[in-house]
Amino acid sequence: MTIGVIGPGAVGTTIVIELQKKYPDTLLIGKKRQELHYFPENEKEGIIMSVTPYQNIIQPLDVLFIAVKTYQLDSVLSKLTSIIHENTLIILAQNGYGYLEKIPYEHAYQAVVYISGQKNNNNIVHYRDYCLHLKDTPRTRQLQKLTNKTKIEIILEDNIEQKIWYKLLVNLGINSITAVGRDTAKILHSAHIKHICREIISEGITVANAEGITFDESTLNSIMTIYEGYPDQMGTSMYYDIMSDRPLEMEAIQGYIYNKARQHQLHTPYLDTIYSFLSSYQQRIIQNSSSQ
């Protein structure tokens, strides 16, 4: 069994570290050969992790996790043919939705990722969790067996769409207001911002319902309760990305829901406003990087 993980970041490195305890040959695959420092949950001592470049993979992988940011997926696709075979099980370990269709292989599955960490330069800190939700199929059941007795927990779902949309909604509210507001979770102390946040999620729920995924007012309240538990200084990935002038995963989160709203001809003024601001930012960042 050959296993590889593309994306030597917070999610990908956590998966590799844990799988290597049972399958020592598991590869952490990146753009170039390098060494990273990985700090496991609650530990001050770092572990040195080696990244294998694509050209050094000699045996096709049987299981491949892809854990790059959604806007980086295109740069991975062209590399796949040389490292996998037609039966490779591919797990797309990303936030957002709508990108699985980009992977032109039969056995590819969208994971809902609950692994929390952050990469800063060559340092990766893992905060908590080791969980991936996947659609229940014979292939994903095999993966669950494979990861048995590792910390990577595969939870098989009869209704993966519901799980994907729930995570989308959780990301939609807090990522939108922290990115556009350029502030951490403490921005929710403002009653006006809290109202905007509720309205965006509420519009997201309307879109989900139009897609046949059932959520109601209690979902909105449960998500707002989750946010209330966030420490004031906690940022979101979109907050950190916008503060560092990096691209955002907005097309896979706000953009996915925005496009679905257009398809269903729904009125979503809060979402449209947020999407417009984030699109304008994203275009500037992409133009700047292509002119460098």
**Beta carbon nearer to ligand NAP, 116 or 144:** 116
Q: How far is the CB of 65 from ligand NAP (least distance, A)?
A: 10
**Beta carbon nearer to ligand NAP, 133 or 135:** 133
Q: How far is the CB of 8 from ligand NAP (least distance, A)?
A: 5
Q: How far is the CB of 190 from ligand NAP (least distance, A)?
A: 25
**Contact call for residues 171 and 224 (beta carbons, < 8 A):** no
Q: How far is the CB of 216 from ligand NAP (least distance, A)?
A: 25
Residue type, 157: E
> Which residues are bridge partners to 48 per DSSP?
37
Q: How far is the CB of 271 from ligand NAP (least distance, A)?
A: 19
Residue type, 125: V
**Cα–Cα nearest to 49, from 58, 40, 41:** 40
Paired tokens of 135: 């659609």
Residue 105 CA neighbour count, 13 Å, CB half: 22
Give the three-state DSSP class for 266: coil
**Beta carbon nearer to ligand NAP, 125 or 210:** 125
Pair type for strands 108-120 and 84-93: parallel
**Beta carbon nearer to ligand NAP, 28 or 208:** 28
**Beta carbon nearer to ligand NAP, 33 or 264:** 33
**Beta carbon nearer to ligand NAP, 33 or 85:** 33
Contact residues toward ligand NAP (CB under 6 A) are 6-12, 30-31, 67-70, 72, 75-76, 93-95, 113, 115-119, 237, 249
Residue type, 86: E
Residue 87: which residues within 8 A CB-CB, separation 6 or more?
62, 107
Q: How far is the CB of 186 from ligand NAP (least distance, A)?
A: 19
Residue of minimal CB distance from ligand NAP? 9
Could you tell me the end-to-end alpha-carbon distance of the chain, in angstroms, rounded to an integer?
A: 42
